[in-house]
Amino acid sequence: MHRSASTVLSAAVLAALTISGCSGGKAAAGDPGSSPTAAVKPAPAVKPAAPLTSAALAERLLDEADLGQGYTRKPQTGSSRDDVTVIGCPALDKLGGDAAAGGSLNFPNSAKVTFSYARGTSSEAAEELYSDTEDKLGPGTKTVFEAMTACPLYQVVVGDTPIAVATQKLPAPALGDEAWSQLLTFTAGGRDTVKKQTAVRAGSVLVVVSGSPALVDTHLNRAVDKARG
């Protein structure tokens, strides 16, 4: 298994759109050299947002008050794995680690929270926030999501446990500057687990909400709004 630099979900595409305006004013009297074209001043370039620290990201995570009743925050545990092997998907094998299994992404600044929801059936919802320079977040996220959906069926071996993974690309929500979404079905020990994962880049912040499809759809907008600060 290889771990390439592209795994470091480099931050968001520098989408600084320069708006050029046009002025239709008349030439000043007595100044034959002046013209409407010469009078136009270019619009100032949009300054890309600076990356946020992990501490700042943690303050923008969803909490129980945002989610409502029935949610319990789960204690965070170290989830980074080096003993992950991908079988049957060369593009994804290059990513390695947690990204290959739909887990945490490897950006420099991050914060994460996971909630269990027990009302009728027990399920989970997790939110991860990442920050980096804008010219890294977008391309890096796109690389991972495209690799994960390039192989509709593959296998991930975590330690000694084989897990069959089926992926399906979903329509991206109309949120933020860029967005990606996918549905993953994990099969292990005869049991299927369906997980939706949606990522939205807003400036220098990447919001990733994953878990039960219904819970992701319910809380995604609020997560993006709060991540914007």
CA atoms within 13 Å, Cβ hemisphere of 162? 6
Tally the domains of the chain: 1
In a domain, 141, yes or no: yes
Q: How far apart are CA 209 and CA 102, in angstroms?
A: 11
Per-residue pLDDT reduced to its tens digit, 157-167? 888 899 999 99
Q: In what order do the strands lie in the sheet with 84-87?
A: 71-74, 109-119, 121-131, 205-211, 191-202, 178-188, 161-169, 153-158, 84-87
Among 10, 2, 21, 6, which Cα is nearest to 137's?
10
Q: What is the pLDDT of residue 178?
A: 96
CA atoms within 13 Å, Cβ hemisphere of 41? 3
In a domain, 79, yes or no: yes
Whether 29 has a pLDDT exceeding 60, the answer reads: no
In a domain, 221, yes or no: yes
We report the CATH number of the domain holding residue 110 as 3.40.1000.70
Q: What is the pTM of this model?
A: 0.75
In a domain, 17, yes or no: no
Read off the tokens for 137: 């977040």
Contact 109/54 with Cβ under 8 angstroms? yes
Least confident of 1-10, 41-50, 87-96: 1-10
Dihedral sign (CA 208, 215, 182, 105): positive
Confidence of residue 19 (pLDDT cuts 50, 70, 90): very low
In a domain, 117, yes or no: yes
Among 228, 217, 92, 74, which Cα is nearest to 149's?
92
Q: What is the pLDDT of residue 105?
A: 76
Read off the tokens for 66: 């945002």
Q: What is the pLDDT of residue 127?
A: 96
In a domain, 9, yes or no: no
Confidence of residue 40 (pLDDT cuts 50, 70, 90): low
Contact 169/182 with Cβ under 8 angstroms? yes
In a domain, 171, yes or no: yes
Q: Which residue has the higher pLDDT, 175 or 31?
A: 175
In a domain, 15, yes or no: no
Q: State the residue range of the domain holding 191.
A: 48-227
Tally of CB atoms within 10 A around 156: 23
